[in-house]
């Protein structure tokens, strides 16, 4: 019996991905920090869709988090054929508004843990005739974003890593996909502490987490390399590529009240 492991499954896009997969009768392993939310979601989805669910509350910012997840999987003998690296967050504002450790912790959650999970999970994923890795990236990966500099850089890393890994694994049973949402109506903006102006801009173009999850899961099962969700976000990435970089960066700095 195989499972999909989803990080950041307690809320937002990760929760919506869990719901989407459960509706397709896929068993779930849910990981995040919020114990109560995970327990509720696991119970609800298990009952509603008749799938097996289990959860692990762990802080992916802790250096032992990947080992904790792998030990949990091995001790329970879970077979995993889908890995969804979704957990992530941003810290908005000036670079020097946050300590070096705060930046490092975010980079651990956004980059180090997903890379480590991909590496540790490979032997498990290889045991299935078909397996998938879905990395949730961001439209911020397509440009530098003053006011979210480290976050955007972490997502650019994940985009490049995902494409490289996909190529390396192209002749294997493991399909690797990057999905980049734009502004999505989740707890992300609150945790990132974005200001009023950025919130208002986001509200105009926000997608729902359910719409993002639906597109992400479809892209994963279709074996796509890379998907930016929604037309506006696709157009944004295209213009960020087309226009002079300084212009694009100035526009972002304006949104994040840096100028
Ligand atoms: N919302 C957007 O506008 C947007 C746009 C582009 C990309 N994304 C990306 O989409 C992904 C999901 O974000 P979201 O929008 O759904 O945000 P969210 O509602 O804040 O959810 C984030 C999820 O990650 C988990 N998480 C955060 N820090 C964690 C940690 N240290 N350890 C374990 N779990 C942790 C949270 O669970 P706990 O709090 O329970 O730990 C939660 O389940 C992220 O990678 C984000 O970068 C979001």
Per-residue pLDDT at 39 exceeds 80: yes
- 42 touches 22 (CB < 8 A): no
Class of domain 2-255: alpha beta
Per-residue pLDDT averaged across 200-210, rounded?
92
Which of 206-215 are b and which e, b meaning 16 or more Cβ less than 10 Å from the residue's Cβ? bbebbbbbbb
pLDDT score for 197: 86
Is-above-0.95 flag for pTM? yes
Find the residues whose C-beta lies inside 6 A of ligand 1: 8-14, 32-34, 37, 59-61, 86-89, 109, 136, 138, 181, 183-184, 186-188, 191, 209
Q: Whose CA is nearest to atom 36 of ligand 1?
A: 8
pLDDT score for 256: 85
Per-residue pLDDT averaged across 144-149, rounded?
96
Strands of 117-228 (E only): list them.
Answer: 131-136, 174-180, 226-228
Q: Whose CA is nearest to atom 47 of ligand 1?
A: 88
Separation between Cα atoms, residue 157 and residue 141, nearest integer Å: 8
- Ligand 1 centre distance from Cα of residue 54 (Å): 19
Per-residue pLDDT averaged across 173-196, rounded?
94
- Ligand 1 centre distance from Cα of residue 239 (Å): 26
Which atom of ligand 1 is closest in space to residue 206's alpha carbon? Answer: 3
Which atom of ligand 1 is closest in space to residue 13's alpha carbon? Answer: 16
| Reported confidence tier of residue 34, pLDDT bands at 50, 70, 90 | very high
Please report, for the chain, the start and end positions of each structural domain, with discontinuous segments joined by +: 2-255
- 151 touches 102 (CB < 8 A): no
Distances (CA, A) of 40 to 12, 46, 80, 185, 221: 15, 10, 22, 21, 27
Separation between Cα atoms, residue 153 and residue 90, nearest integer Å: 11
pLDDT score for 259: 67
Catalytic site residues?
151
- Ligand 1 centre distance from Cα of residue 129 (Å): 30
Separation between Cα atoms, residue 233 and residue 155, nearest integer Å: 15
Q: Token pair of 231, please?
A: 């037309």
Mean per-residue pLDDT of the chain: 96
- Ligand 1 centre distance from Cα of residue 167 (Å): 27
Measured on CA atoms in the order 105, 115, 37, 211, is the torsion positive or negative?
A: positive
Q: Are strands 53-57 and 226-228 parallel, antiparallel or unpaired?
A: unpaired
Separation between Cα atoms, residue 11 and residue 240, nearest integer Å: 29
Which residues, including other chains, have CB under 8 Å from residue 82's CB and lie 6 or more apart? Answer: 2, 3, 4, 5, 21, 26, 131, 132, 133, 134, 220
What tens digit of pLDDT does each residue of 42-82 get? 999 999 999 999 999 999 999 999 999 999 999 999 999 99
Per-residue pLDDT at 143 exceeds 80: yes
| Reported confidence tier of residue 196, pLDDT bands at 50, 70, 90 | confident
Q: Whose CA is nearest to atom 44 of ligand 1?
A: 88
Which residue, 216, 55, 22, is CA-closest to 135? 216
Per-residue pLDDT at 245 exceeds 70: yes
Per-residue pLDDT at 40 exceeds 70: yes
Which residue, 144, 64, 156, is CA-closest to 107? 156
What tens digit of pLDDT does each residue of 82-116 get? 999 999 999 999 999 999 999 999 999 999 999 99
Per-residue pLDDT averaged across 229-241, rounded?
96
Separation between Cα atoms, residue 175 and residue 42, nearest integer Å: 26
Q: Whose CA is nearest to atom 2 of ligand 1?
A: 184
Q: For residue 163, give the H/E element and its range.
A: helix 149-168
Question: Any idea how long the chain is?
Answer: 259
Percent of the chain with pLDDT over 70: 100
């Amino acid at each position: 019996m195989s499972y999909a492991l989803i990080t950041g499954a307690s809320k937002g896009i990760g929760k919506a991905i869990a719901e989407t997969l459960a509706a397709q009768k896929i068993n779930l392993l849910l990981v995040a920090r919020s114990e109560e939310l995970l327990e509720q979601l696991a119970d609800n989805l298990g009952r509603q869709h008749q799938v097996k669910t289990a959860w692990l509350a762990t802080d992916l910012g802790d250096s032992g988090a990947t080992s904790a997840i792998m030990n949990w999987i091995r001790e329970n003998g879970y077979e995993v054929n889908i890995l969804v690296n979704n957990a992530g967050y941003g810290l908005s504002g000036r670079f020097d508004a946050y300590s070096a450790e705060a930046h490092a912790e975010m980079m651990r959650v956004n980059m180090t843990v997903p890379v480590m999970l991909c590496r540790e999970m490979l032997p498990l994923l290889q045991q299935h005739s078909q397996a998938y890795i879905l990395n949730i990236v961001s439209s911020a990966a397509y440009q530098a974003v003053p006011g979210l500099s480290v976050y955007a850089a972490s997502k650019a890393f994940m985009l490049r890593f995902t494409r490289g890994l996909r190529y390396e694994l192209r002749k294997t049973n493991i399909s690797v996909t990057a999905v980049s949402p734009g502004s999505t109506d989740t707890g992300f903006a609150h945790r990132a502490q974005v200001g009023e102006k950025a919130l208002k801009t986001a509200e105009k173009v926000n997608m729902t987490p359910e719409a993002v999850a639906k597109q992400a899961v479809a892209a994963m099962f279709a074996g796509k390399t890379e998907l930016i969700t929604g037309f506006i976000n696709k157009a944004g990435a295209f213009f960020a590529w087309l226009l002079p970089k300084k212009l694009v960066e100035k526009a972002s700095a304006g949104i994040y009240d840096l100028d």
